[in-house]
Amino acid sequence: MTSIDPFERFGAVPQFTLESDDVADGRPLSRAQWGSGGGGDNVSPQLSWSGFPAETKSFAVTIHDPDAPTGSGFWHWAVFNIPAEVTTLAAGAGTEGGGSLPQGAAMLSNELRSKSFTGAGPPPGTGTHHYDIVVHALDVERLDLDPESTPAVLGFNAHFHTLARAVLTPVATAGDI
């Protein structure tokens, strides 16, 4: 299955390859990637990417659920200023405080106001939720964002510096685990 780029409506950019030992396109999330309130472990998935443009200077990674019943979706994770030579994030890199992130990378608060990854938790009766995991290849070494910025502000700033992106979209439905 080839993921659809959720940002394409803002202008198509080339896509590169995103793989994971933990999640797959169109496949249900495992217990590890669910939130603790839904019986999961809140473990950010392992991610690795390749085939991005040679002129890439940094990466940003976001995980967003556009199907959350909020009108604006739900941001689960936002990381930026990942150095260009880093092409893998280990499972659990999204722990509170960012100690497992590469040197120089920073996390923004998710919807629960935690600077960490928060797992899935689709409410009963809201259908299947799609979790857009996106790696943005950027043309700048750093995005100078206020540490209290939201993931939406990261997305806005990344938009103007995105050379290419890679997408995986696993799914979850209440009662899956």
Question: What value does the CA radius of gyration of the chain take, rounded to a whole number of Å?
Answer: 15
177 residues of the chain, pLDDT tens digit each: 456 888 888 888 999 999 999 999 999 999 999 999 889 999 999 999 999 999 999 999 999 999 999 999 999 999 999 999 999 999 999 999 889 999 999 999 999 999 999 999 999 999 999 999 999 999 999 999 999 999 999 999 999 999 999 999 999 999 887
Give one DSSP letter per residue of 5-70, joined into a string.
-TTGGG----B-EEE-SS--TTSBPPGGGB-GGGT---PPPPEEEE---TT--EEEEEEEETTSTT
Alpha helices in 123-168 (DSSP H): 151-159
What is the model's pTM? 0.95
pLDDT score at 76:
98
pLDDT score at 176:
83
pLDDT score at 143:
98
- The letter for the amino acid at 55 is E
pLDDT score at 1:
44
* Bridge partners for 63 per DSSP: 77, 133
pLDDT score at 2:
55
Give, rounded to a whole angstrom, the gap between the first and last alpha carbons of the chain.
Answer: 23
Q: Do 71 and 81 touch, CB atoms closer than 8 A?
A: no
